[in-house]
Amino acid sequence: LPELLDGLLNMLSDPNREIRQQADFALLEFLQEIKTTSDVDVGRMSHILVARAASADEFTQLTVITWLHEFVALSGSKMLPYMADVLGVI
């Protein structure tokens, strides 16, 4: 998923509505999968999310914040090394 995450987040700001909707749907499916597995590269994905939080697109920002919230809720102490960056974008 880290390989796909950046591209999907980028598609959320695409001018084509259908592309935005499909990217959002794919991201929602991935997030649901993440909730059911314990094998998630939290660090790599957090770095991607933090970088995308600076997007000028509000929908991308909202999606990133939602993902970061879920990561904190699911990963607990595994997120501690990344919390300074996460808090910096919120």
Condensed to tens digits (0 to 9), the pLDDT of residues 3-31 reads 899 999 999 999 999 999 999 999 999 99
pLDDT at 80 over 80: yes
Prediction pTM value: 0.88
Contact 13/57 with Cβ under 8 angstroms? Answer: yes
Torsion (CA) 26, 31, 33, 37 in degrees, nearest 10:
150
Quote the tokens at residue 47: 């770095």
Q: Dump pLDDT digits (tens) for 50-77.
A: 999 999 999 999 999 999 999 889 888 8
